[in-house]
Amino acid sequence: MTSSAVLFRPFVSPKLSLPNRIVMAPMTRSHSPGGVPGPDVAAYYRRRAEGGVGLILTEGTGIAHDAALNDPKVPFFHGAAALAGWAEVLKGVHESGGKIMPQLWHVGLMRKPGDGPNPEVTPVGPSGVGARPVQLGAGGLAENVVPPMTDNQIAEVIAAYAHSAAAAKRLGFDGIELHGAHGYLIDQFFWSATNRRADRYGGNLAQRTRFAVEVVQACRRAVGADFPIILRFSQWKIADFAAKLATAPDELGRFLAPLVDTGVDLFHCSQRRFWQAEFPGSDLNLAGWTKKLTGMPTITVGSVGLDDDFLTGFVEKKGSEIEGIDRLLRMIEQDEVDLVAVGRALLVDPAWAAKVRDGRLDELVPFTPTALMRLD
């Protein structure tokens, strides 16, 4: 049995050094009325840093574009009031010895007409074809929701990403994560079901990375060469759990190559269950294949420490029991992946990392749906 000590080895890369391998996964909390994170949000993140998390990735934060969000209580990452709130979050995490990056988010056509915080604003998406999550994981596609984004609209959104990235650098954050997963805007450009464009932003899978490439390039110009940029991507979508961007390793390699070339420093590879192999004939999961194909550091994620995925909590309103992490420890020991993002286990227990570190496994807390409603 591999010792949990492997989770507490330092991680060192050219742009990012962490005291251990544990990352707090981004989890939407909807506790920031008016888009402004308050003292309760700062305390929430500080508790996870005090509990031994090496890197915190914040909940998704809205970039400086009026159609970026579909929930008026999700925090902005622009504007004086919101950025002042994030400065307090940052202060608390750094004082507790942690590191933190905002996840920059645009929901695209996951936003419906009339959604807050700007109900008068029309949603945007690559081809006017939107995911329709009537029930999480059981939605579909809504055709011709809005006209396809124009070149000017695309340029405005790219500039908004760069604006928020520059704010993160200015405030003193430790990097940024771009949310390119789960069927949100960047992923809508990746996915053939929602990107049917015939211009330079469409085409085959590698060509459909162009929007993301230009977002990364704009952010890089805004933050400089040494500021870490993480890209989160997934195969699955909220509207289609069975969706695949790549059905084989060589296809995944073609998808990743332009993103590596443009300067992504680390890939956050989202799965619902981290232990599931991505392709037949190999035990490697999505993060493992991404590292093998690119040589870049990766974060694995997906129901770490629990026996079932988020669907049980978010849709079925059921709890999840504690599950061992031996498979995860072997993956890190064998250098298949570099970091591990922990979601619901940290949501319910801010001290999860410290308990694992100290061998207090009998004190770990099962996940219950009531944790989704709290900010503690």
Q: Which two tokens stand for residue 174?
A: 């430790």
> What would the DSSP string read from start to end of 237-263?
ETTBTT--S-SSHHHHHHHHHHHHHHT
Tell me how far apart the alpha carbons of residues 187 and 7 are, in angstroms, rounded to a whole number.
30
> 3-state DSSP call for residue 299?
strand
Q: CB of 184 within 8 A of CB of 130?
A: no
184 classed as catalytic: yes
Give phi and psi for 269, each to the nearest 5: -105, 100
The angle that helices 249-262 and 286-294 make with each other, rounded to 10 degrees, is 60
What lies within 8 Å, CB to CB, of 120 at 6+ separation is none
Which of the residues 44, 45, 161, 184 is marked catalytic? 184
Q: Residue written as tokens 């507490």?
A: 8
Q: Which two tokens stand for residue 262?
A: 């443009």
What lies within 8 Å, CB to CB, of 87 at 6+ separation is 171
Tell me how far apart the alpha carbons of residues 274 and 337 are, in angstroms, rounded to a whole number.
11
Angle at 153 between CA 150 and CA 155, to 5 degrees: 110
Gyration radius (Cα) of the chain, Å: 19
Nearest alpha carbon to residue 24 among 301, 298, 273, 288:
301
Q: Which two tokens stand for residue 365?
A: 């807390």
Give phi and psi for 317, each to the nearest 5: 55, 40
- The DSSP secondary-structure symbol of 76 reads B
Query: Largest alpha-carbon pair distance within the chain?
Result: 57
Amino acid identity for residue 122 in this structure:
T
- Active-site residues, by number, are 184
